[in-house]
Amino acid sequence: MLNKWIVASQSKYYWLLLILLGISLEAVALFYQYGLGEWPCLLCIHVRIWVMAFIIVALLALLFQKHKLINSIFHLITAAIMFALVERSWQLLATERGWTFGSCDMELGVPPWFALDKWFPLVFEVQTSCGYTPQLLFGITMAEALMIMSVMLALVAVILSGASFIRR
């Protein structure tokens, strides 16, 4: 089993799968925003930013696929991004369920040098306050789906990160 994880950690298909998954998540979010009128809150935009981050890291990892050490570093970065995605997904779910009450401003809260909401407002502009997420299929909310998916992605990222440092 360990050999399969080692092979997967060195495979370009993992990175291609992350890119495809990330683009799909962004497309679903934009469909819900513009097709169904479900405006994104601050936490939703934070999730979009982390998804975009793992897409970019996966693209870079594909460029440096042949360099084992660089590949391992990209795996570590991906694991860190996935843990940040888990944290944002948890905050979104906890807010939706009323488990936590925090400030959910209409400002993205990023420094001026990283003003994604100003550069790409169609994708990264906060348009509503936090509170609920729309239902997807079978009564599962977007926050619930994101929580499950982000935990699974974090587990895979950690396993592949560790496997990428093992020599075959």
pTM: 0.88
Domain that holds residue 105: 2-164
CATH number of the domain bearing residue 69: 1.20.1550.10
Residue pair 117/45 in contact (Cβ under 8 Å)? The answer is yes
Amino acid identity, position 30: L
pLDDT, tens digit, for every residue of 22-70?
999 999 999 999 999 888 888 889 999 999 999 999 999 999 988 888 9
Q: Average per-residue pLDDT in the chain?
A: 87
Mean pLDDT over residues 128-132, rounded? 77
Residues 6+ apart with CB under 8 A from 59: 15, 19
Confidence of residue 167 (pLDDT cuts 50, 70, 90): low
Q: How many domains does the chain have?
A: 1
**pLDDT over 80 at 104, yes or no:** no
Q: Are 94 and 131 in contact (CB under 8 A)?
A: no
